[in-house]
Structure 1
Amino acid sequence: MSRYRTIALFGKQDSELVAEALGELHDYLIQRGITVLVDDAFCSVAGLARDCAEIATIRQRAEVAIVVGGDGTLLAAARKLDAAEVPLVGINLGRLGFMTDIARADMLGAIDRLLAGEFTADRRMRLEVRVLRDGTEVFRTLALNEVVVNKGDLGRMIELEVRVDEEFLYVLRADGMIVATPSGSTAYALSANGPILQPAVPGIALVPLCAHGLTYRPITIADSCAVELRLVHSYDGRVHCDGQNFFDAKAGDCVQLTRSQHPLTLLHPPSYSYFAMLREKLHWSATPHR
């Protein structure tokens, strides 16, 4: 008997490989007696259209969501689900696949183990993002990986006044600042020489981008801290969330970042190992010396 009765399917759009995998997965779940809700982005795909559902229905009814694509597709699905407590399973058809950890060739076997209840839950913190302008909230969203405040399209630096729990840290003159969760520590923050945080670490990484100074270093703070980034002087900027959602900020705007009360749950197969994943994706030496 399956542990789940209703499963949602998400995938990368405009990809024949993803549509093919979704169709195979859809038919397999139907044969197992599962009610399938397909992201309505695939309402024009033959074989999937009849089970397409609006996101409000998926948020309310789905017990688990399976995402076919890469990490960006999983981030997009998480954004659509918003604060709904729907766990995600990732089938990797992307490049790196830090969070989509099931290979396409193993898809159906892994789904059998998912339905048997053999997967383990991995709760990932998210950031709640608010932008205040003259004390009024003008933007709010959630971010799973990171929030980047940068110079936008203009080829110059910006200045950010950085505060942690209302205590002044410094004024940063740089291309911008990355505020990363442990999940996002292996994404954009990694390319900016930020620290890798094991997902269970209750921390937030502040990683300056091309700082105009030799001593601005990444710093990890407790995930209970509230971070404020204020654009100072006449510098406008842009707030990017998970590389998929952005807001054009004005000089004087304050970007407030706190740990969300709505973490995201990833479900991993029994063989999953975070350190093995790092070795594979980052091409670290895989053979220990004896």
Structure 2
Amino acid sequence: MKKILVLGDLSKKKIHDTIFGLKPWLDKHVVAEILDVSKGKKIEKRGAEIAVVFGGDGAILSTCRGLGKNQIPIIGVHMGRFGFLAELMEKNVCASLEKIFTGKYQVHKRMLLLSRIVRAGNMINESMGIN
């Protein structure tokens, strides 16, 4: 593995400090581009093979929405209140990522859902979700 995206809500001190504390370790293994998911913007994968998301389910869902139709495998590091979608724990993230970087992982495909609310012929909301 050569390049990854590292994402999280960088306005949260714990997530910011964890990601930037890991950056020197990550730089020894891969090219890691850090992105902030708190802005709700479109995320371009920029040649990355996976996205590592620090936070809870909300951060993972924001990443899915941000990637849109250009999905790549996403692995979550549980640091939020809800961690149903996160696979990794913060305390052993380096050991887990080393395995991933050497190809020791499986991809489980999920369905990406798009919903639209239409009233009187006008779309008033559009949202993505994962199943």
Provide the TM-score with structure 1 as the length reference. Answer: 0.41
Question: What residue number does 2:56 align with?
Answer: 70
Question: What residue number does 1:98 align with?
Answer: 84
SS at match of 1:121: coil
Deviation readout 1:106-125 (Å, 9 max, x if unpaired):
10000100001111111111
Question: What residue number does 1:116 align with?
Answer: 102
Q: Whose strand fraction is larger, Structure 1's or Structure 2's?
A: 1
Kept after mapping to 2: 8 A contact 1:67/1:89:
yes
2:11 maps to 1:14:
yes
Shift of 1:41: 6.0
Deviation readout 1:140-188 (Å, 9 max, x if unpaired):
33222xxxxxxxxxxxxxxxxxxxxxxxxxxxxxxxxxxxx4xxxxxxx
Question: What residue number does 1:36 align with?
Answer: 32
Distance in 2 separating the partners of 1:68 and 1:121: 18
2:71 maps to 1:85:
yes
| Long gaps (5+) in structure 1 | 43-53, 145-180, 182-290
Give percent identity, aligned residues only: 22
Structure of higher RCO (CA pairs closer than 8 Å, 6+ residues apart): 2
**In the comparison of the two structures, how many residue pairs are matched?**
129
Structure 1 runs, 4 residues or longer, greater than 6 Å off: none
Kept after mapping to 2: 8 A contact 1:92/1:104:
yes
| Long gaps (5+) in structure 2 | none
Distance in 1 separating the partners of 2:9 and 2:15: 6
